[in-house]
Structure 1
Amino acid sequence: MAEGLVTDLIKQLLSVAAREAEQEIRLVIGVNEEIEKLKGNLRTVKAVLNDAEKRQVTEEAVKVWLEKLNNACYKMEDVVDEWNTSMIKSAIQKKEENVDDAPVLKKKVCSFIPSPSYCFCQVDKLVLRHDIAHKIKELNGILDEITKEKDRYQFQLTNDPTTKVLERPQTTSFVDMSEICGRDNIKDDLLSMLLGTGSEEETSPHVVSLVGMGGIGKTALAQLAYNDPKVQAHFEKKMWVCVSDPFDQCKVAKEIIESVTNKSPKINALQSLLKKICALIRGKKFFLILDDVWTEDYKMWEPFKLALKCDVQGSRILVTTRKSRVAEMMGSASTINLEVLSKEDCWLVFSKIAFFDWDPNQSEQLEDLGRQIVDKCKGLPLAAKTLGSLMHFKRSREEWKCILDSNLWELEDVEQSLFAPLLLSYYDLSSPLKRCFTFCAIFPKGYFFSINELVFMWMAQGYIIPKANMEIEIMARDYFENLVIRSFFQDFEKDKDDGKIRMYKMHDIVHDFAQLMSKNECFTINNDIELGSNYKNYRHLQLKIPTKAQFPKSIYSAKSLRTLIFAYSGDCNLSTLFWHFRCLRILILNCKPGFILKELPVEVENFLHLRYLEIVNYCGDRLPETICNLCNLQILKIASTNYVPKLPQGMGKLINLRHFILKFSYFVSNVEFPRGFGRLTSLRTLNYFSVSGKDHSERCRLGELRNLNHLQGTLEIYGLGSEVNACEAENAQLKKKIGLCTLLLWFDERVRGEIIREMDVLVLNALEPPPNLEDLTIGRYQGLTMFPNWMLSLTKLKKLDIYALNLECLPPLGKLPLLNSLRIKSNYLKNVGDEFLGIKPKTKKEDNMITVFPNLKSLTFDFLGEWEEWIGIGGEEEKEEDCIITIMPSLQKLEIFDCPKLKSLPNFLHTIPLQKLEIRYNSILSERCRRG
């Protein structure tokens, strides 16, 4: 941890000094010598940190010395950031003056007489200069003492660990360990227990337990059983809950409900939650996995046992635990005690990862050392995976011998020294990766990590070292991939649609290890037990106070907090809270279900270091204007339930904002964006944008998007139509935003006449999307035609949704080569013919073979109330005029909803082997389909 801090601090000092040199007036004067001395001390301690970090595990004195160094570096980092922030504010102030709307003559006249605010501003600058200079001198003295103290420990000078090259991970380096070595017989026994029909005498619920030490593969085996096709088909309801310690009854109950409904319940009373569970499983054969149970208290389990009796015979509960007494307490009918793997099975786990994608000759030369390393795994699959991931990146015998001979194997720690292989992997990480890994300890066990969530938080903490010509977000994702391929994240969750990995989870032992390596920095309060602790040196805090519990004022001593994740229940004075934690980089206010956060205090401006602000369940009508003083803010996330907050007018001052994310629990289109929003040229994420507004002179025009060319991902635009003309639409320059992959264009809902319908056509034509777009939605469009010049240029488009009101004919969408999903909704469309397929007589003469909609898999027509005819051109392959035409060869699903006047389907559909054909609210077609 210390090495990363020191390295970052040196870079920040160099950066802020370079930036100040660009300013016309130096902000901090007379500390040049102190800065040079400070950099010298930092470089001196940096040379010994690699040895110190390893020795702290066994030498308490070295650990204390490192803690002193950490505290000093954190304080210095805050001072440097304060210095840098002042320069950012100065630059913003100059820009504000340059874009002032006041007449030039008035400016010149006023410039002779300094305003009171100008005078106070100059006084504040003088005070700030003195304050920063004083802090630098004071902290330099402390660091000087720490540097001298290092000599007593006789540290070895080592190569700079921070110079280690962080290579971009190769996708082939990640090995999917879904197959489990050496557990075939146990897997068969477990499946037999789960799939048994059960007898009337069988106790209900029927509990099966997997018992074994940490890292032995209990959860992996449970996952294998849970995902088995036979198990999936056998049970009507399937639930997975990570229990961990402490056993939180309400949390467990909520996760059971969420597993069934895919929605988190808003109720908080345990009894109500248990009744909900009973109602959900009544009459159903269910399978529930309770992963990582620790509690031996039967009173904690008894309410669940009673609630889960509302099932049918044959339901199963599978428990994984490290303690046999837990299995007894839960009344297990069957218990499987997992033993360690055999040497050969352990070798298979290790070698599958270590030698993945290697040349066979090279792996054979290292097999002797590899088997000796595997012997030290003592049959634990987690140890074998971790070491396999580590050795995959080491290609010489010297490197393998060094790992084999490490003194870390002599440690006696949790469960057969399982931390030894984790320590070896941890010390092999670069210093930024170490900081990224240990930060994860702030999250609870069993937590599913979203990649973007971690990426944004690591950025906010300053852990990511940017490279020239590379986006910092890409660098951060590379960091994450490096931790994944080194097995620090192992369990993952795939998207059901595209099969991509969306979420990752840490193994419980890895999480324990992360907590060990960060125990003086990360802390969690989730009950009344820990409220008397001293939080003075804690940096990252997750605060979950029970609803009726008193807010712990003792945490106000944590003046150095960098992260606060606060589950807010409405009983805390946030203004007071905001006065204390002025060093925060990350603030997450998560209002609990049943409570609302009505107002964000104006004191939010106190967080001058803040980079990441997230507010969940915000119900205020506006955000405070003072939020615009957070000039370091990079990520702003607002999740609202019942209200749409008005955005502050000064948002254009947030020049470092990279990700602005709005989330609503219902369909909205009236968020008022302020003028000047287009100055946020650093934005990478803008998921929502609206041009609507009551005051025409104050509203944010669509042209504000013109210079936001770094936008990526998804952009949803509302308010197109009467308030937007073709010139303004063209001004948005959407075609230059090549990072966008999803675009949603929503026109006004208001009923409009012929002139406005013509304007919709012009506006849509001017809104040319970027050429790489993959997903496009056009909503509430009222033009009579929809064939903008850019439509057929979207050769990468995969999904298209059209919600149009007055269309007379469809565009030739059959020409889009990669389109695989198409949904069309239109009130007045009467006929669908060859124009939809994009086939013309001229086309037939020029090409002997034509494939129309070559990749279309899903086609939906919805709410075409006037649609009468769908004219086709024959079979799937029709030979016409020496031209073979193939239509929709990949189509799997066809849905026709609310199209009551449609009389028949085209002939070519009859030859396509559809996997799903669904027709609703059309008695004519439904009857014909039944007949034949």
Structure 2
Amino acid sequence: MDPLTSAVIQVLVQQLYNSLENEEKTLLGFKEDFEKMKTKLNLMTSFLADAQRLERNSKDYLTFKTSLAQIRDLIYDADDILLDCQTRAAYEEISFFHGYTPRGFSFRHKAGNKLKEINKRIEAMESQLNTYLNPVSQWILSSGEGINRKARRTSHVSASKIIGLREDTNKIIGWITTSESSNRVGIVGMGGLGKTTTAQKIFNDVVDHFDKMIWVSVSQTFSEKEIITSMLRQLGINETVIIDDEMLEIQKALSNKKYLIVMDDVWNNDGDWWRHISSYLPEGEKCNQSIIITTRNESVAKSMGVTRIHHARKLDETESWDLFCTVAANRQTSKDSEFETVGREIVKKCDGLPLAIKTIGGLLSTKTQSLHQWKQVSKNFRNELANRTSVPATLQLSYDDLPAKLKQCILCFSVYPEDYETSAEQLVYWWVGEGFVLGNEEKTAIEVAFECLLELVNRCLVEAVKQRGYDGRVYKCKMHDMVRDLIIKMAKEAAFCSFDEINKQKPEVNSRHLGYTREMDEKLLENNSKLRAFLLMESCPLPVHRNTGLATVNSLRVLDLSTNKLDSIPVEEMWSWIKSQKRLAYLSLRRISSLQELPDWIRKRQNLQILVITECSNLKRLPSCITTLQSLVVLDVDNCPLQCLPRGLGRLTKLQVLSGFKLPSPGKDGTLLVELKDLTNLRVLRINISKQDEIADDEAESLSKLEQLQILSIDTKDCDHEIIPLMDKLLPPISLQELYLRSYHGDTSPIWLNPSSLPELLYLYIEHGELTSVRTDFWGNTGKPWKIEGLCLKYLPRLEMEWKTVCSKMKYIRYLEVSRCHKLQSFPCNVNNYGVWEKEEEERE
């Protein structure tokens, strides 16, 4: 069964179950029609599940594949009509006239006809499928489908750990750190051999040897302009103010310097791009030039003037086994001879390719400790090898093993350009906004989505570019080009998005998801009624022109413009277009400097769940009607010059993440701290406090009422020493697990920062401040010790603390990160610049 269709049906049926329990409010009187739809969709799922038994080359399977496109359209239409009814019901709930208006009656008439039409189409499709499929069982909706097959807790293991490459990296480091004025090295080999991993290890290890360092991901589809822009940015040069030749600016920045440039993943050297760039790179007695080229083609490396070539090699048997055990994180292999026998059999089939080993190891790390499952993986792997090389076979096997939910999530990577570094937050909000990921009784949809992303990283299908050391939480990620090729192939089959013959995404009338770049022809989007997600890629203008191209698209659920400042965008045209998106669930308008306020009609977007408007330098107010958006789960207005948030925020009872909260100054009408106690589902709260702020005595315990709050961030950069009494009033809830204190101006820690007040705290982050010491009760007592596992101290030059005290009072600590804390004593890492310490696995047991 197609994973995308499977996941959409699962979400739709779950929503139908929820809505039918509350028919009066959400179904506008169409209970009977939606009951019929739910029954028919359950039966449809049985038919589709039965289709998995069809032989791929059989006549029936080919007929089924033809029907699948019609099924997708049908399911999406059913999803849309349910959402439209829910949104209309929510709007009528806050409207004075409710549904008793001409528009209300008109909507019901059209919706009723649409529902009957969809149910007839479902019946017709069932009859069509019934000619060659026999449903074998009713589908039972399982709300407990977890990401991990067996719940277990493991420490984060980096899939990029260097095994078997130390000798290679040391050799190349020797080449590029010699006294010669020019060193050009090529790392050559097939995909999956670890060329980029080797170069990354070298790049990190020689940081103290070079004055300037530049890393450029070239990829298959590149432009000389993109490469030069990347080099300028890494050198700290603003390309928008350059008058002369851009390469002259690069030449000036590198003159009389020791510098290293890595050109990663060069596919060809057609044209004059490298000749032009390299002609400006300074050489000579006062300048030490080192360049590393990674490529799959030795002739490309030679054409780029390399003087030494390192051929990336396959790992030997011992190295392969070590890498497999590290990624699989499976101690059973070293204790049980049967596990080791099967494991070594699997590793042998990987043929020494690091990417293949890491991928299959990542797959097995999510399996239960079942010898039968390991044997099944080995058996399937052998069958795949009959017609494919080992790496594609391994990747395909890993993809096939993903649950439908994760397959749907990973297909989203297909819309990003090659080597694109993606924000984890953007992905997570997209998945939640489009309904790819659902919450459950224990975790919110956002929490589940972050776990989905981490599992994709742990399966080695996604590479973490920026990751928190404490628990492996992903902040930025990307996809290896070989994995991306596979995902594009899967996205094509699932009609997730459209591509041309060289795998570049293109907009089409039937496109459902699009990562828009400046090379695309916006006219191809005319009257697209199917597009559900639109993401604007970096440095690309928003092509909204009245009544043409993108302006005619009105079916979006996801709209993310966060990677562009859009300084010159006509705000009126942008709002006119957004106003037409009545199903919008996720809207990100980050860094739009011309944005000064939100329109009042935003209250009509009752399906809006995630609203991100951070870093809008001229956004000074939010309309009071924003407090009527009853579906809102994320409101992020951080780093905007808002004076306060409008009164009534406590009505947003579904809110889970609130970033950029500001207390109203004396005399200003806005949300007071006491209102937050009504946000009973709040998990994350980020507060900015200024020196004008006040907290009344009757508000002192407001935060302590937030029993679901897990993460609290407090930033007091606009304050002075007078902040101490205000901070002491905040009183976080005892449920808090992560605390971030930024720019705290007190000499000692807040009075509530102790294990008695925060008994569940696991991670403490303190950055930029004037702390000289902590209170005596900060360390707690034998009856109430800290549970803290991760501690991060940054830019606290006056703080005095001894490591032996930390160890004795924080017995569970396993991760430490320190920067610029010069007075810390006997700490097991560098405290002057940047240091990290992690407890060895054996010490934790």
Tell me which interval the TM-score lies in, with the shorter structure as reference length: 0.7 to 0.9
Structure-2 residue corresponding to 1:187: 169
| SS of match in other structure, 1:295 | coil
Counterpart pick for 1:314 among 265, 288, 306: 288
Residues 186-236 of structure 1: per-residue CA shift (max 9 Å, x gap): 33432232223225xx5xxx43222222212211221222222xx223222
- 2:572 matched to 1:572? no
Deviation at 1:534, TM superposition (A): 6.3
2: distance between equivalents of 1:876 and 1:503? 32
2: distance between equivalents of 1:465 and 1:892? 38
Structure-2 residue corresponding to 1:768: 731
- 2:537 matched to 1:555? no
CA contact (8 A) 2:13 2:38 kept: no
Alignment of 1:129-278 (within 5 A): 129-150=108-129, 165-167=146-148, 170-172=152-154, 174-198=156-180, 202=182, 206-228=183-205, 231-261=206-236, 265=238, 267=240, 273-278=246-251
Alignment of 1:789-868 (within 5 A): 790=752, 813-817=774-778, 859-860=796-797
2:741 partner amino acid? L
Deviation at 1:614, TM superposition (A): 0.7
CA contact (8 A) 2:54 2:61 kept: no
CA contact (8 A) 1:208 1:332 kept: yes
Deviation at 1:63, TM superposition (A): 3.9
Structure-2 residue corresponding to 1:683: 655
Deviation at 1:462, TM superposition (A): 0.8
1:11 partner amino acid? Q
Q: 1:236 to 1:514 in 2, by over 3 A?
A: same
Structure-2 residue corresponding to 1:127: 106
1: distance between equivalents of 2:189 and 2:297? 7
Q: 1:220 to 1:29 in 2, by over 3 A?
A: closer
CA contact (8 A) 2:743 2:768 kept: yes
| SS of match in other structure, 1:616 | coil
Residues 501-525 of structure 1: per-residue CA shift (max 9 Å, x gap): 6433322211221111112545589
Structure-2 residue corresponding to 1:847: none
CA contact (8 A) 1:611 1:633 kept: yes
Deviation at 1:672, TM superposition (A): 4.3
Deviation at 1:544, TM superposition (A): 1.6
Structure-2 residue corresponding to 1:741: 712
TM-score scaled by length of structure 2: 0.80
Residues 626-663 of structure 1: per-residue CA shift (max 9 Å, x gap): 22222122221113454134212200111221222224
2:219 partner amino acid? S
Structure-1 residue corresponding to 2:839: none
Residues 582-619 of structure 1: per-residue CA shift (max 9 Å, x gap): 33121012474683335241442322221211113312
CA contact (8 A) 1:494 1:500 kept: yes
Alignment of 1:661-672 (within 5 A): 661-664=636-639, 670-672=642-644
Structure-2 residue corresponding to 1:597: 569
Structure-1 residue corresponding to 2:266: 293
Deviation at 1:90, TM superposition (A): 3.2
2: distance between equivalents of 1:562 and 1:72? 15
CA contact (8 A) 1:209 1:334 kept: yes
2:250 partner amino acid? I
Q: 1:54 to 1:654 in 2, by over 3 A?
A: farther
Deviation at 1:459, TM superposition (A): 0.9
2: distance between equivalents of 1:55 and 1:3? 22
- 2:591 matched to 1:587? no
Q: 1:71 to 1:398 in 2, by over 3 A?
A: same
- 2:442 matched to 1:479? no
Residues 76-130 of structure 1: per-residue CA shift (max 9 Å, x gap): 211222122223223344xxx6xxxxxxxxxxxxxxxxxxx668x4332322223
Structure-2 residue corresponding to 1:616: 590
Deviation at 1:386, TM superposition (A): 1.6
CA RMSD of aligned residues (A): 4.6
2: distance between equivalents of 1:811 and 1:339? 52
2: distance between equivalents of 1:186 and 1:658? 49
The 10-residue stretch of structure 1 (810-819 or 206-215) with the greater mean CA deviation from structure 2: 810-819
| SS of match in other structure, 1:418 | helix
- 2:688 matched to 1:706? no
1:166 partner amino acid? I
Tell me how many residue pairs correspond in the alignment. Answer: 790
1: distance between equivalents of 2:140 and 2:32? 33
Structure-2 residue corresponding to 1:715: 686
Counterpart pick for 1:47 among 46, 49, 54: 49
Structure-2 residue corresponding to 1:282: 255
CA contact (8 A) 1:79 1:132 kept: yes
Deviation at 1:156, TM superposition (A): 9.6
Counterpart pick for 1:83 among 82, 85, 91: 85
| SS of match in other structure, 1:406 | helix
Residues 886-917 of structure 1: per-residue CA shift (max 9 Å, x gap): xxxx9996679xxxxxxxxxxxx999999889
Q: 1:368 to 1:635 in 2, by over 3 A?
A: same
2: distance between equivalents of 1:801 and 1:183? 36
Residues 251-287 of structure 1: per-residue CA shift (max 9 Å, x gap): 32232233344x8x45298975433322322221111
2: distance between equivalents of 1:801 and 1:400? 46
Q: 1:68 to 1:190 in 2, by over 3 A?
A: farther
Structure of greater Rg = 1
Structure-2 residue corresponding to 1:923: none
1: distance between equivalents of 2:304 and 2:372? 51
Structure-2 residue corresponding to 1:752: none
Q: 1:193 to 1:748 in 2, by over 3 A?
A: closer
Q: 1:455 to 1:529 in 2, by over 3 A?
A: closer
CA contact (8 A) 1:525 1:545 kept: no
The 10-residue stretch of structure 1 (147-156 or 333-342) with the greater mean CA deviation from structure 2: 147-156
1:74 partner amino acid? Y
Deviation at 1:526, TM superposition (A): 12
Give 5+ residue unaligned stretches, structure 2.
Answer: 782-790, 805-816, 834-845
Q: 1:383 to 1:78 in 2, by over 3 A?
A: same
CA contact (8 A) 2:589 2:612 kept: yes
Q: 1:160 to 1:433 in 2, by over 3 A?
A: farther
CA contact (8 A) 2:512 2:532 kept: yes
CA contact (8 A) 2:265 2:296 kept: yes
The 10-residue stretch of structure 1 (282-291 or 181-190) with the greater mean CA deviation from structure 2: 181-190
Residues 467-496 of structure 1: per-residue CA shift (max 9 Å, x gap): 223222222222223222222124543558
2: distance between equivalents of 1:802 and 1:54? 61
| SS of match in other structure, 1:242 | strand
Structure-1 residue corresponding to 2:516: 543
Deviation at 1:554, TM superposition (A): 1.4
Deviation at 1:288, TM superposition (A): 1.5
CA contact (8 A) 2:544 2:551 kept: no
Alignment of 1:253-402 (within 5 A): 253-261=228-236, 265=238, 267=240, 273-309=246-282, 313-342=287-316, 345-354=319-328, 356-358=330-332, 360-362=334-336, 364-392=337-365, 393=367, 395-402=369-376
CA contact (8 A) 2:765 2:793 kept: no
1: distance between equivalents of 2:200 and 2:77? 45
- Ranked by relative contact order (alpha carbons within 8 Å, sequence separation 6 or more), the top structure is 2
Q: 1:403 to 1:858 in 2, by over 3 A?
A: closer
2: distance between equivalents of 1:857 and 1:777? 9
CA contact (8 A) 1:726 1:763 kept: no
| SS of match in other structure, 2:614 | strand
1:190 partner amino acid? I
2: distance between equivalents of 1:859 and 1:243? 39
TM-score scaled by length of structure 1: 0.73
Deviation at 1:313, TM superposition (A): 4.2
2: distance between equivalents of 1:610 and 1:470? 23
Identity %: 23
Deviation at 1:290, TM superposition (A): 1.7
CA contact (8 A) 1:173 1:485 kept: no
